[in-house]
Amino acid sequence: MKLDHYPPQEPLSPLGAAYQARILALGEGVAGEAQAYGADPYQTLTVFGPEAPSGEVVVFFHGGGWTSGYKEWMYFMAPALLAQGVTFVSAGYRLAPGHVFPSALEDAADAVAWVWRHIEEQGGDRRRIFVGGHSAGGHYAALLAVSAGWRAARSLPRGVLSGCLPVSGVYRLGADSGIATRPRFLGTLDPARVDAAASPIAQIDPGACPPFLITHGSRDFPHLVVQARQMEAALRAAGVPVQTHVLEGADHFEASVACGERPAGWPALAAAWMRQTPHHPIPSTGVPQCKAPH
């Protein structure tokens, strides 16, 4: 799978390079319909439509530590989800250090807006849009799910998201996050304010937040396991429905690979969870009033 049409990225670690090689091999030959939601090469997404759509749509964001990764990384997930009737959208976003927060979050929001406006042409139901992602992608998905201001800014209804499925996500930034070095995607301006704005656990709006399915590996990075438990507790305290799933024996990278397993495994679990998640009533015209962004 060729990636040479993208601008250069940060070099991958040996573990990251091995992960990239593995998932690109798993996704070899998996083809979808590429679309652009912006002018930058990273502001693109690919739609994979099932033969028998169930209506559910999941927009999934790749990981890569906020500084690397491609939408093509997640292509390997498509076959297992398509077999469940789920329309799968793999979305890219601009990367740090060239683009710092909230640039990529704005991209993720624009990708969801594109899906809202076009997915019914692809057989999906725009009343059943879910967001998910692995690692940094799970962070962006969670941040979109817990807050509402970005929806009004794009003329989207408050209930545009039916649920969130982060895998090995990051939910807290800052001194108490367990992350040894402050991630460069946060930039250098006003660290305390930016860290809070970028932390899903600090941005939960109960009136906007849909149900969550939080997943991580049993051998995941320790600080991410702790954060997943903290996020679960915070969502429950806010009255948000939340289910958790631990991928036994999986480390951080194997948790991502598990998202493409079939016939059983995470895709079947995720599809069943999406099907049982209540439908949000979405008006055909007009946009409900949203609170200002946090």
291 confidence band (pLDDT: 50, 70, 90): very low
Residue 125 has pLDDT above 60, yes or no: yes
**pLDDT value of position 97:** 96
142 confidence band (pLDDT: 50, 70, 90): very high
**H helix or E strand, kind and range, residue 259:** none
Mean pLDDT of 147-166: 96
Q: How far apart are CA 204 and CA 206, in angstroms?
A: 6
Inter-helix orientation angle 136-146/103-118, to 10°: 70
**pLDDT value of position 210:** 97
Q: How far apart are CA 17 and CA 221, in angstroms?
A: 18
Mean pLDDT of 123-129: 95
Mean pLDDT of 158-181: 96
Domains of the chain: 21-276 (3.40.50.1820)
Backbone angles phi, psi at 134, to 5 degrees: -110, 135
CA triplet 260, 55, 76: central angle to 5 degrees? Answer: 15
**pLDDT value of position 293:** 34
**pLDDT value of position 264:** 84
The whole model's pTM is what?
Answer: 0.94
Which is higher by pLDDT, 283 or 268? Answer: 268
**pLDDT value of position 195:** 97
Closest of 16, 160, 9, 23 to residue 93, by C-alpha? 9
Mean pLDDT of 62-85: 97
**pLDDT value of position 281:** 58
Q: How far apart are CA 268 and CA 83, in angstroms?
A: 9
Backbone angles phi, psi at 247, to 5 degrees: -85, 100
